[in-house]
A = this chain, B = another copy of it.
Amino acid sequence: MPSNRTRRIRLLLSYDGTEYHGWQIQPNLPTIQGEIETALAQIEGERIQLHGSGRTDAGVHAVGQVAAFDLRNPIPAGNLRRALNRLLPRDIRVLEVTEAQTDFHPRFNAKRKTYEYRMLRAEVCPPFLRRYVHHHPYPLNEEAMIAFAPLLDGEHDFSIFAAADEKDELGHSKVRTIFSSRVYRQGSSEDDLLIYRVTGSGFLKHMVRNIVGVLLEAGKGNLTQADFLRRLDPYCQIPCGPAAPARGLFLINVEYE
Contact = CB atoms under 8 A, between A and B. Distances in A.
Range for the number of chain A residues in contact with chain B? 20 to 34
Contacts of A15: 127
Please report whether the interface of chain A is mostly helix, strand, loop or mixed according to DSSP: mixed
A128 B124 contact: no
Interface string A1-27: 000000000000011100000000000
A61 B130 contact: no
Copies of this chain present in the complex amount to 2
A60 to B, nearest CB: 13
B16 A128 contact: yes
A90 B18 CA distance: 14
A124 B85 contact: yes
A85 B125 CA distance: 10
B124 A93 contact: yes
Interface of A: 14-16, 61, 63, 81, 85, 90-95, 124-128, 130, 132
